[in-house]
Amino acid sequence: MADGTPEMPELRVSGGAGGIDARYDDLERLGRLYGDTGGRLVAMAWDDKLEAADGDLVASAILSPDSFAAAEAAILEATYGPRGLVVRAATIEAQSVCFVACVELYRTADRARHAALETLHYGLGFAIGVNLPTVLLAGGLAYGGLRMSGVSDAELIAHLEDHPELLETLVGGGGGLLDGMAANPLTAPVMGALGLDGFHADTGAAADDLGALLFGDYRGALDQGYPEDVFAYDAPRDLGDLVEDLSQPADDTVPDGVISVQQLTRADGTVSWIVQLPGTDDFLAEDAIRNMGSNLNLIAGDDTAYGDAVALALAEAGVEADAPVMLVGHSQGGMQAAGLAADPDFGYHVTHVVTAGSPVATSGIPDEVTVLSLENTGDVVPLLDGESNPDTARHVTVQADVHGGSFGAGPGQNHSLSVYGDIADAADASTDPSVEAVLGSMRQQGFLAEEGDQVQTVTRSYQTRLGEQLRPAEIRDPLAMAGNLLP
């Protein structure tokens, strides 16, 4: 901008108060309102018909036969005539049925379209898997040809940044890819030996088997020696503050596994809680609580040690079971936030979830939880569940196109918290009704303070870690096993 202030990214908003599903709900409510109105008109017509038999009116027939007949005719015309209440009631009842039926048709069409896309993605993944050697050879030749033509890696990354749907389609076919490899004569022995030769209907099923194969399962625990007073947050006023607070436990100088729990007490004594959940610390380390195994478990909808430890931290902080809780997370932290909100056994009252760069489309968050998802289309991570977020009345997705030329999480890169901080600032400045509604609900619940609010805050820090091992990884070195089995 001319004054030197960084230009805010343009946003695309889906879901929430202005989303398609909310409009479906409005249409359905309008239809049911029409139905109620029709019923009331019928009752009114019956009451008016009774007026025709009123004793005084009937008695007047002797004194004035003409006026009596006119009154009777007018009453019958108003109730059962061509333009009377009964006909109008029938018309409104028919419109009610049409409204409700149209909404159901729209929703059925949406479900059919989603099922067709899932089938298409599975089929594409299967085709790639069953022809994997040919696909790899063709891909290698194509890459070599592009490099010889002067196309740089940066240009290839820019192409993927501009076309995120390519990766989303490939990830959506993850189950088909495994099944295709199991049907390929060259790779089938490896898949069978690894226990991956079953049917994988979707990406979640593929992630479940891969997680069990490569990583063990653990209970969560807390490091009792880690100090509780590492962070001191003010009461957040907007999304930018929430992302800024999240960046503190996610900083590279902070030990792995650290989270924060903030208690907010308003002047009237009501208490709410905000939990900040950073993302992956080490992808491949077996002893890291936030590793690739947790990512795979979350995509599959399974419990994690990270989630266990978060529940322990809330218990240590003294969070009451019925107190409102907002979970804020980046990357795997957002996935874990969504997973806990969807878990009926979590034990805490999650009312809001905020995610930044997290694949949460398939997490199954219940409709009563309000969700705000910040996504950068240049970031591949939100695509790793293979689906777009649901366009529901309580799930708002805010997308921006920020392309830094790298898919990493370093400062300024596509998956970084600094980029998501910029998107959060743009959302704070947005006048979109869906964004305004979700921020308003956060203020109403006490998570965001307004000018003049008196809010006392206490922030506690906890270091989550792996506890008791429940199940070891099925194999320790899958690459070595594959090398021994391949012809």
Residue 366's pLDDT is 94
Average pLDDT of span 337-344: 97
Residue 140 has pLDDT above 60, yes or no: yes
Phi, psi of 223 (to 5 degrees): -80, 105
Per-residue model confidence as pLDDT tens digits over 83-121: 555 556 566 655 566 655 665 666 676 666 666 767 877
Higher pLDDT, 213 or 259: 259
Q: Which helix (H) or strand (E) holds 218?
A: strand 217-222
The structure tokens listed for 308 are 């266990």
Q: How confident is the model at residue 328 (pLDDT cuts 50, 70, 90)?
A: very high
CA–CA distance, 385 with 395 (Å, rounded to integer):
17
Q: What is the pTM of this model?
A: 0.80
CA–CA distance, 181 with 200 (Å, rounded to integer):
12
CA–CA distance, 277 with 355 (Å, rounded to integer):
10
Per-residue model confidence as pLDDT tens digits over 265-324: 999 999 999 999 999 999 888 899 999 999 999 999 999 999 999 999 999 999 999 999
Strands (E), 306-454: 324-330, 349-356, 370-376, 395-400
CA–CA distance, 22 with 20 (Å, rounded to integer):
5
Average pLDDT of span 448-466: 95
DSSP string, 106-161: HHHHHHHHHHHHHHHHHHHHHHHHHTHHHHHHHHHHHHHHHHHTT--HHHHHHHHH
Residue 1's pLDDT is 40
R_g of the chain, CA atoms, integer Å: 30
Phi, psi of 329 (to 5 degrees): -150, 150
What percent of the chain is modeled with pLDDT above 70?
72
Residues 6+ apart with CB under 8 A from 109: none
Average pLDDT of span 190-195: 86
Select from 430, 429, 362, 392 the least CA-distant residue to 19: 392
CA end-to-end distance (rounded Å), the chain: 61
Max mean pLDDT range (41-50, 53-62, 161-170): 161-170
Higher pLDDT, 481 or 439: 439
The structure tokens listed for 68 are 């009596």
Other C-beta atoms lying within 10 Å of the C-beta of residue 403? 16
Residue 254's pLDDT is 97
| Pairing label, strands 395-400, 370-376 | parallel
Sign of torsion over alpha carbons 371, 374, 378, 380: negative
Percent helix / strand / coil, the chain, rounded to 5: 50, 15, 35
Helix (H, G, I), strand (E, B) or coil at 54: coil
Residue 171's pLDDT is 75
- For 416-438, letters b (16+ CB in 10 Å) and e give bbebbbbbbbbbbebebebbebb
Q: How confident is the model at residue 40 (pLDDT cuts 50, 70, 90)?
A: low
Residue 174 has pLDDT above 60, yes or no: yes
Select from 268, 369, 270, 275 the least CA-distant residue to 317: 275
Average pLDDT of span 452-468: 96
Higher pLDDT, 162 or 243: 243
Q: How confident is the model at residue 406 (pLDDT cuts 50, 70, 90)?
A: confident
Residue 258's pLDDT is 98
Residue 390's pLDDT is 86
Half-sphere exposure of 41 (CA within 13 A, CB side): 20
Q: How confident is the model at residue 412 (pLDDT cuts 50, 70, 90)?
A: confident
Residue 2's pLDDT is 42
Select from 434, 433, 406, 436 the least CA-distant residue to 419: 406
Half-sphere exposure of 108 (CA within 13 A, CB side): 6
